[in-house]
Amino acid sequence: MLRQIQFRAMNTDVGIWLWHAARQAEAWLQDAAQRFAAIEAELSRFRPDSGLSRLNAAAGAGPQPVSPLLWTVLSAALDAARRSQGLFDPTLLRPLQRAGYDRSFEQLPPNFPGVPALNTLEWGYQRIDMNPAAMTVSLSAGLGLDLGGIGKGWAVDHVAQALAVHGPVLVDAGGDIRVIGVAQGEPWPIAVQDPFNEQNDLLTLALTSGAVATSSIGGRRWTRNGQAMHHLLDPRTGQPSASDLHTVTVLAPTAAAADVAAKVTLILGSQRGRGYLTSRGLRGLLCRRDGQQQTVGRLPLSHLLARPIEIQEEYVS
């Protein structure tokens, strides 16, 4: 029997599907929702009492003790930064705030005045010092962390792995999806939404394992001093990505890996982004700003009539 729960967490819609006959499955799903809430409470940059916000407030004040959860996600973020040679960088909080994204997205005003020029010392993952023996983190003065680029995917993986001991599971948080196991041998049908027409789907994937995530410049947009802005910043400039890509969907073993790869690919652009995915053995769908599409690798397409789970990119807060 397919059990389901839907709720809001991390400023997005979350859906969880678990294949299990026991009535106890309802309690397992409620526990999963509580796990999401706990992760958000610790990683949100918009909650002043979160562990992340307290660490950001202590930038320049020396080593700070952090929770095991924050330590684990930050470690994963720094590993992703090193592997991507800095194209993924969790220290872009200050440039993101200067761009205007300084509060939860639904609270943003329609336009912002101009802001001072960026200081390149405001970001750089190399300026984080982690001490494993003491479980402390030191941020250089002026530095700020935003774990939105990996935190949501990490949460999806964490909850999926916890539920998978009970049966086949799919966890979807705003387009970050992780699948573990299949129900009665049938793959999970997952529709990829057309980024230029939300009423249409580009294709439907058939997942039996692994993850898929989408990054787009279309979901989180605002205006600063008359200039269109979006939330995907290029760490090389501290400004919104100016590549030719609008939306990228990536398949990877984990949702966190897919999340990072989608963002890096979008920043690189269609030509270099395709090479990036290919070199890492990843598959994906690239949609350019002009509407043209490219596939990387052979996508597992579904031809089932079952109602698919919709993928649409949303940003974590």
What total number of domains does the chain contain?
Answer: 1
DSSP string computed for 27-90: HHHHHHHHHHHHHHHHH-TT-TTSHHHHHHHTTTS--EE--HHHHHHHHHHHHHHHHTTTSS-T
In this prediction, residue 106 carries a pLDDT of: 47
Within a 10 A sphere around the Cβ of 111, how many other Cβ atoms?
12
Residue 317 forms part of a structural domain: no
Cβ atoms of 222 and 110 closer than 8 Å: yes
The reply to whether 47 falls in a domain is yes
Number of Cβ within a 10 Å radius of residue 4: 12
Percent of the chain with pLDDT over 90: 73
Task: Tell me whether residue 80 is in a domain.
Answer: yes
Question: For 3-61, how does the pLDDT look when each residue is reduced to its tens digit (9 = 90+)?
Answer: 999 999 998 999 999 999 888 999 999 999 999 999 999 999 989 999 999 999 999 99
Cα distance between residue 91 and residue 93, in whole Å: 6
Read off the pTM: 0.88
Q: Which of 204, 63, 51 is nearest to 136 (CA)?
A: 63
Q: Which residues contact 169 (CB under 8 A, 6 or more apart)?
A: 16, 17, 18, 19, 160, 163, 179, 180, 181
β-bridge mates for residue 36, sequence order: none
Domain extent, residue 60, equals 2-311
Tell me what pLDDT residue 185 has.
87
Q: Is residue 259 part of a domain?
A: yes
Terminal-residue alpha carbon distance, the chain: 33
Rounded alpha-carbon distances, angstroms, from residue 26 to 1, 13, 14, 113 = 12, 19, 16, 49
Task: Look up the CATH number of the domain holding residue 297.
Answer: 3.10.520.10
Query: Does residue 316 lie in a domain region?
Result: no
| Element spanning 93, H or E | helix 93-98
Give the H or E element holding residue 248: strand 245-252
User: What is the chain's alpha carbon radius of gyration, rounded to the nearest angstrom?
Assistant: 19
